[in-house]
């Protein structure tokens, strides 16, 4: 009898804990979605006939190198329940844009990526399920690490998985592709990608851009183009996609903020005849891309190669072995951006070249040509030399032209106009009178003495 009681007391705890283990193992990671980022999620499934409380549960991710990071902390799953044979959706608290409402979220600074292993921990900090995430065309490919072979990949497209998965809501998303920081007056690339959550990519339709500076652009296809902001600031760029040119309601929208910084590039110093280097300085607090900028000096010029970046508040020194500059070239050096604007000169020219363009486009073009042409030798005698006595101030051209003209008063103009009116009136009267005077004969044809009276 005693032995039976002992067996009873032993059997009850064993059955209890075996049931608990079974309940814990009933929750599995059913589906993982990677792309688009706005629809990245993890879906759990309770395959038992009883609800499952997720208090003290957690989800972590393991990188390919084996480092484990927290993804969904236990505090975010406290008192969360998965119904029997039900699903549980987890998403990022900040970036998720899907149509379904999440049951729980992970912190906005957390994420997972391809080849990460998703680890599901129960209340006893035991791993009850783990999946290695990978990408396919429908973004649902996962690997069950507990049951996988060396080459085996289990795709969540089985009939059971499809039967237990909610219908996928069709959704189109568009994304603007652009640098976050650009330089005023410098062209930068803009493009977009538009696709659906079923894998389609849309390249035609109606794409309406708003650049936030009063300018818009409407095109019928997705393309790459360059845009230029004239002034520093922060601009909100929006893109609306319509599947038809006749549509009034956008099928997808996206917006980003672009920071436009001033072009604070200067030539901080140059070398000498023995070492004619050119040193460029970025005085702004943001890096500036110098791709396709041109440095001119004397009869030579140097095009800065693509991908050259000047860090904020830093300088770079260009060797004459690279630029080909000589001691004569560095007597007057200029930097020209891709828009053909003169950004800086050395020594600094006091005249504002851009203002000169507003006064005289033709003269500005001549000045710019002198700075950019490889055939022009900019020496001290050049009209654009920094010598103050030789600088042509085009801002004063209008005033100078005005000073050379005769200063005629308003009363003089009035008297001259009066005399002109009187003269025109007299001339008109004389012409009219002459035309209406009767003639007694026709000159050159019949005269009075040629006529005879006949009785």
Domains detected in the chain? 2-163 (2.60.40.1260), 172-261 (2.60.40.10), 265-402 (2.60.40)
- pLDDT tens series, the chain, 455 aa: 545 555 555 554 544 444 444 444 589 988 888 878 888 889 999 988 889 999 999 999 988 888 888 999 999 999 999 998 889 999 998 888 888 889 999 988 888 888 888 999 999 888 988 888 876 433 543 444 443 333 333 333 433 333 344 445 678 899 999 988 888 888 889 999 998 877 788 889 999 999 999 999 999 988 899 999 999 999 999 999 998 888 888 999 999 999 998 888 899 999 999 999 999 999 888 888 888 899 999 889 999 998 898 898 999 999 999 999 999 999 999 999 888 888 899 887 654 444 444 443 443 444 445 444 444 333 333 333 334 433 334 344 344 434 444 445 555 666 667 777 777 777 777 766 665 555 544 444 555 555 555 54
In 3D space, the residue among 50, 51, 33, 55 whose CA is nearest the CA of residue 42 turns out to be 33
Q: Where are the beta strands (DSSP E) in 243-284?
A: 252-261, 265-270, 278-282
Residue 152: CA atoms inside 13 Å, Cβ hemisphere, count?
Answer: 11
DSSP 369: H
Instruction: Please name the residues in contact with 130: beta carbons below 8 A apart, sequence gap of 6 or more.
Output: 29, 117, 118, 119, 120, 144, 145, 146
Phi, then psi, of 6 in degrees rounded to 5: -60, -45
The answer to whether the beta carbons of residues 189 and 178 sit under 8 Å apart is yes
The strand pairing partners of 435, in sequence order, are: none
In 3D space, the residue among 127, 124, 121 whose CA is nearest the CA of residue 146 turns out to be 127
Token pair for 63: 């990188």
Q: Output the pTM of the full model.
A: 0.41
How far is residue 375's CA from residue 298's CA, in Å, rounded to a whole number? 8
């Amino acid at each position: 009898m005693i032995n039976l009681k002992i067996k009873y007391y032993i059997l009850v705890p064993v059955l209890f804990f075996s049931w608990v283990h079974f309940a814990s193992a009933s929750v599995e990671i059913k589906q993982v979605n990677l792309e688009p980022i706005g629809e990245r999620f993890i879906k759990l499934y309770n395959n038992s006939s009883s609800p499952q409380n997720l208090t003290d549960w957690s989800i972590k991710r393991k990188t390919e190198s084996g480092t484990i990071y927290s993804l969904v902390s236990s505090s975010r799953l406290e008192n969360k329940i998965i119904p029997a044979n039900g699903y549980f959706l987890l998403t990022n608290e900040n970036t998720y844009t899907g149509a379904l409402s999440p049951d729980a979220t992970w912190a906005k600074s957390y994420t997972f990526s391809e080849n990460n292993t998703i680890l599901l921990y129960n209340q006893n900090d035991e791993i009850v399920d783990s999946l290695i995430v990978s990408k396919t065309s429908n973004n649902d490919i996962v690997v069950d690490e507990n049951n996988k072979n060396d080459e085996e990949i289990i795709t969540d497209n089985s009939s059971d998985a499809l039967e237990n998965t909610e219908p996928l809501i069709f959704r189109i998303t568009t994304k603007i592709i652009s640098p976050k920081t650009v330089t005023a007056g410098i062209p930068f690339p803009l493009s977009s990608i538009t696709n659906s959550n079923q894998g389609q990519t849309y390249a035609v339709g109606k794409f309406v851009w708003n650049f936030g500076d009063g300018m818009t652009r409407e095109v019928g296809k997705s393309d790459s183009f360059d845009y230029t902001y004239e002034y520093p600031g922060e601009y909100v760029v929006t893109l609306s996609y319509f599947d038809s040119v006749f549509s009034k309601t956008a099928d997808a929208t996206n917006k980003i903020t672009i920071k436009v910084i001033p072009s604070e590039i200067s030539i901080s110093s140059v070398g000498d005849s023995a070492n004619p280097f050119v040193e460029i300085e970025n005085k702004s607090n943001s890096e500036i891309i110098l791709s396709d900028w041109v440095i001119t000096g004397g009869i030579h010029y140097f095009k800065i190669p693509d991908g050259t970046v000047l860090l904020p508040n830093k300088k770079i020194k260009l060797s004459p072995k690279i630029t080909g500059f000589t001691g004569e070239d560095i007597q007057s050096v200029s930097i020209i951006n891709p828009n053909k604007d003169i950004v800086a000169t050395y020594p600094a020219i006091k005249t504002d070249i851009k203002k000169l363009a507003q006064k005289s486009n033709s003269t500005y073009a001549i000045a710019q040509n002198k700075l950019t042409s490889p055939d022009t030798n900019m020496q001290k005698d050049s009209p654009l030399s920094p010598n103050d006595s030789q600088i042509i101030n085009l801002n004063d051209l209008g005033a100078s032209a005005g000073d050379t003209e005769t200063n005629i008063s308003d009363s003089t103009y009035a008297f001259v106009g009066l005399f002109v009116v009187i003269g025109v009136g007299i001339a008109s009267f004389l012409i009219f009178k002459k035309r209406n005077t009767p003639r007694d004969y026709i000159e050159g044809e019949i005269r009075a003495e040629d006529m005879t009276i006949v009785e």
